[in-house]
Amino acid sequence: MTDRRVLVTGGAGFIGSHLVERLLERGDEVLVVDNFYSGTRSNLHHLLANPAFELVRHDVTFPLYVEIDEIFHLACPASPVYYQRDPVQTTKTSVHGSINMLGLAKRTGAKILLASTSEVYGDPEVHPQPESYWGNVNPIGVRSCYDEGKRCAETLFFDYRRQHDLPIKVARIFNTYGPRMRPDDGRVVSNFIVLALRGEPITIFGDGTQTRSFCYVDDLVAGLIGLMESDPSFTGPVNLGNTGEFTMLELAELVVELTGSSSPIVHQPLPQDDPTRRRPDISLAKERLGWEPTTRLEEGLRRTIEHFRTAVGA
């Protein structure tokens, strides 16, 4: 045991559930609060018997009074399908949720980390994206509830630092994938794998030339923990992501190959404000955290495909 009491908001989600496993493994006491909007109790089912673990249904837009030492603030739906289903709640989650968790950190003196996103760069005009780039975000589009919500959350973190001297850490996470994404999550990796395993047409939005950089979840979690443990003077924001850049067409072809699927590829309309390209500049994470991803896309996809074979029974 480490004596450390750690709160993980959104811990029943995809990234959160992997993070909780790592924290328990190193001996922390872990409290998860989650409203199960896009996460599930089943993601944590195997941990419920652990006496160092506690799970509470709670919406972070409401105040929370607990005694803790560290907060990983992850609560927020991350898939466009989920965050656009109730966009006002998405903004409330990022803004009110961050205010409450910062208020909690202020009262308890806890160190607090924000799971921010590469979406703060919007449809980037600078490529690859360094942390110094201010981004190109549409403030009134369908993605804004998520993008602007996270941008405002970052503002709140830095203002609580300046005004109240809070120990903050801000991670800008790029597209992350792996086991425990929901089959209906809606993000591209889970969609392509589920469709391929079911032998259904693989849906590429637009012409498939848009790019993303995909980080395997274990690498990402190591980065989040490394950031929390970093020198107190280091607040970030820091990019966490894999620098391998792929078109959606390349991703679809790789998924078809690795699943041995006979699914055809079909094209559907490109959603509004879909970023055309994205790749992190991770020099800062390498320098300050000694961190970089080690899992190649093909290897990470193999492990993710294994998970989905069981999850969708294909």
Question: Which residues are the active-site residues?
Answer: 146
What residues from 116 to 145 belong to the interface with ligand NAD (CB under 6 A)? 117
Helices 144-164 & 87-108, crossing angle to 10 degrees? 20
CB atoms within 10 A of CB 140: 7
What residues from 159 to 188 belong to the interface with ligand UDP (CB under 6 A)? 175, 187-188
- Residue 204 in contact with ligand UDP, rule: CB under 6 A: yes
**How many residues bind ligand UDP, per CB under 6 A?**
22
User: Which member of 176, 190, 213, 261 binds ligand NAD (CB under 6 A)?
Assistant: 176
Minimum CB distance to ligand NAD smaller for 93 or for 259: 93
| Contacted by 120, from ligand UDP, ligand NAD, none: CB < 5 to 8 Å by type | none
Minimum CB distance to ligand NAD smaller for 93 or for 108: 93
Please, what is the minimum distance in Å from the beta carbon of residue 87 to ligand UDP?
14
What residues from 236 to 255 belong to the interface with ligand UDP (CB under 6 A)? 248
- Residue 170 in contact with ligand NAD, rule: CB under 6 A: no
- The tokens of 170 are what? 């801000």
User: Which member of 107, 296, 302, 309 binds ligand UDP (CB under 6 A)?
Assistant: 107
Peptide bond before 167: cis, by omega within 30 degrees of 0? no
- Residue 293 in contact with ligand UDP, rule: CB under 6 A: no
Under 8 Å CB-to-CB from 260, ≥6 apart: which residues? none
**How many residues bind ligand NAD, per CB under 6 A?**
29
- Residue 271 in contact with ligand UDP, rule: CB under 6 A: yes
Task: Tell the residue number behind the tokens 């919406």, with chain if given.
Answer: 59
Q: Which stretch binds ligand UDP (CB under 6 A): 38-46, 48-56, 60-68, 151-159?
A: 60-68
Q: Which residue in the shown chain puts its C-beta closest to ligand UDP? A: 103
Contacts with ligand NAD by CB under 6 A lie at 9-10, 12-16, 34-39, 59-61, 74-78, 82, 93, 97, 115, 117, 173, 175-176
